[in-house]
Amino acid sequence: PGAKAPDFTTKGALAGKEFTLNLKAQLKKGPLVLYFYPMSFTPGCSAEAQAFAAATPDFKKAGATVIGMAADPIDKLKDFSTKDCASKFAVAQATPAVIDGYDVALVRNGAKTALTSRTSYVIAPDGTVLYAHSEMSPANHVRNTLAAVRAYRDKKR
């Protein structure tokens, strides 16, 4: 928190449709919840995406956009965006540069893998990281990021 979020451009998917996702362009819409997850269609990642999908109206009401990121191929993300994300929010490719920039490489047995850790960020429209939460259990990510977005919104009022 307090650091500037690294800008990036990558491939994303929303409702099964591929698009180019740029962080700065997304931030023009308002605060952003950028959450990293290890791999689409695994139990924890599916549960987390479904929870974010269910909470999308709450995030929108608070003025925020949600984007999930994993090091998956774009075709897998397109499928995930319609199924587990219920076409409610975008998912995007976490490239090696994005993974390094956000320090979200999943470490197993002391070595970095090509997967991402389960880490959620809330980023202000000016690119400042407001909140960060890293925990492999998906249980608290939606609740905690929504609370951070609401705190930001309330401070702006």
What region does 30 belong to: left with phi over 0, alpha with psi -120 to 50, or beta?
A: left
Both tokens assigned to 59: 């995030």
Residues 24, 21: Cα–Cα separation, whole Å? 9
Residues 11, 32: Cα–Cα separation, whole Å? 17
Residues serving a catalytic function are: 45
Strands 32-36 and 9-14: unpaired
Residues 85, 36: Cα–Cα separation, whole Å? 14
The position carrying tokens 């490239």 is: 95
